[in-house]
Amino acid sequence: MKTIAFSLFFCGLLVSADDYLVIHVNSPDLKTKPWRSGAEPVAAPKHEPLGTNLSGPAGGDLIVKCGPDLYYSYSCSKECKVPLCQEHVDGVGVHPINLHQHTEGKTGFLDGLFAALFVRAPVLPVVAASRAGGNPNDAVVLQRGAEIHLGPALRRVVEDTYCFQLKRLPSSGEVRNFSLAWDKAADAEGIAQLPNLKPGAYELAKGSAGANGACRLDEDGLPAWVVLTPESEFARANTDWNSYRDTLAELEKTGATPTLVMAVRRAALSGIADSVEGR
């Protein structure tokens, strides 16, 4: 992969010494309504030459690497045309993403984090803000032997008894259903006894108990991503996770779409998961 040696601003355009790297594309239906360069669909990661315009579908999101440590995201509420790495585009939400290296190794920078994300989820769901309430939230959680401390992932979940499903990421057929009585006063850690789980990234979905130990997942639920982290690595991983909060909060404050914020958040989680899993 080519590297970008230097960059400068000129007339509102970030000019790179080499080219631009598209590291994330998403839309409500990427298969039938992809981002395009001319007539050709664009899939990330992909290098694009200086001066490239990409055409995006309504509801589409795009992240581009414009310099060694500078990224721009673009969100289209309707069909749009985006001159890559331009700071202002009429009718398009443009947000700089200042995400510096936190985790060790190759997944420290955002393009590396997205590479880690693509291993686990080549396409992310398009989400509405209204779907957040009552669902588990993305988190790094402590794994102490058979004890999984799910409290950090249950901040939005109303106290009650639920069935949960943990599914390994990327999908490997490893699925674990379990019941948990969520009561912050009695157990703010939300400890579930789940022996023989490998550390790393999992999808956490909420539902209600069904017959024969099945878990009836909430039809309108949005599963969270959690990184099960052994006690010996938890302090470092949790510090890494917390260090991304300012970037994620800034994206939300500047009006980035929920789908875009989720993509950056899960890219960060994927980088942490890589370090926990020893990838």
- Over residues 157-197, the pLDDT tens digits come to 999 999 999 999 988 778 999 999 999 999 999 999 999 99
pLDDT at 128: 62
| Cα–Cα distance for residue pair 36/59, rounded to 1 Å | 14
Total-model pTM: 0.81
Query: Is residue 269 domain-shared with residue 160, that is, in the same domain?
Result: yes
Domain assignment of residue 111, yes or no = no
pLDDT at 19: 79
Query: Is residue 166 domain-shared with residue 273, that is, in the same domain?
Result: yes
Query: Is residue 11 domain-shared with residue 142, that is, in the same domain?
Result: no
Residue pair 121/127 in contact (Cβ under 8 Å)? The answer is no
What's the CA dihedral at 33, 36, 40, 42 to 10 degrees? -90
Domain assignment of residue 123, yes or no = no
Quote the number of domains for the chain.
2
Query: Is residue 271 domain-shared with residue 136, that is, in the same domain?
Result: yes
Query: Is residue 88 domain-shared with residue 145, that is, in the same domain?
Result: no
Q: Residue 54, SS3?
A: strand
pLDDT at 168: 95
Query: Is residue 48 domain-shared with residue 139, that is, in the same domain?
Result: no
Domain assignment of residue 226, yes or no = yes
H or E segment at 45? none
β-strand 224-230 against 139-144: which pairing, if any?
parallel
pLDDT at 9: 29
pLDDT at 12: 37
Domain assignment of residue 142, yes or no = yes
Beta bridge partners of 162: 180
Note down the domain range covering 249.
Answer: 129-277
Q: Residue 166, SS3?
A: strand
Query: Is residue 64 domain-shared with residue 155, that is, in the same domain?
Result: no
Domain assignment of residue 35, yes or no = yes
Query: Is residue 87 domain-shared with residue 160, that is, in the same domain?
Result: no
Query: Is residue 86 domain-shared with residue 187, that is, in the same domain?
Result: no
Which of 52, 76, 97 delimits the end of a domain?
Answer: 97
Query: Is residue 13 domain-shared with residue 85, that is, in the same domain?
Result: yes
For the purposes of burial, counting CB atoms within 10 Å of the CB of 171, is it exposed (0-12), middle (13-18) or buried (19 or more)? exposed
Query: Is residue 206 domain-shared with residue 270, that is, in the same domain?
Result: yes
Query: Is residue 179 domain-shared with residue 262, that is, in the same domain?
Result: yes
Tens-digit pLDDT string for the chain (279 aa): 222 222 222 233 343 456 788 988 888 888 899 999 999 999 888 889 888 999 999 999 999 988 877 889 999 999 999 999 999 999 999 988 876 544 444 444 667 788 888 888 877 777 665 444 589 999 999 999 999 999 999 999 999 999 999 999 988 778 999 999 999 999 999 999 999 999 999 999 999 987 777 789 988 888 999 999 999 999 999 998 998 887 788 888 888 888 888 988 998 999 999 999 987
| 206-238 tens-digit pLDDT | 999 877 777 899 888 889 999 999 999 999 999
pLDDT at 212: 76
Domain assignment of residue 220, yes or no = yes
CA-based R_g, the chain, Å: 20
Domain assignment of residue 104, yes or no = no
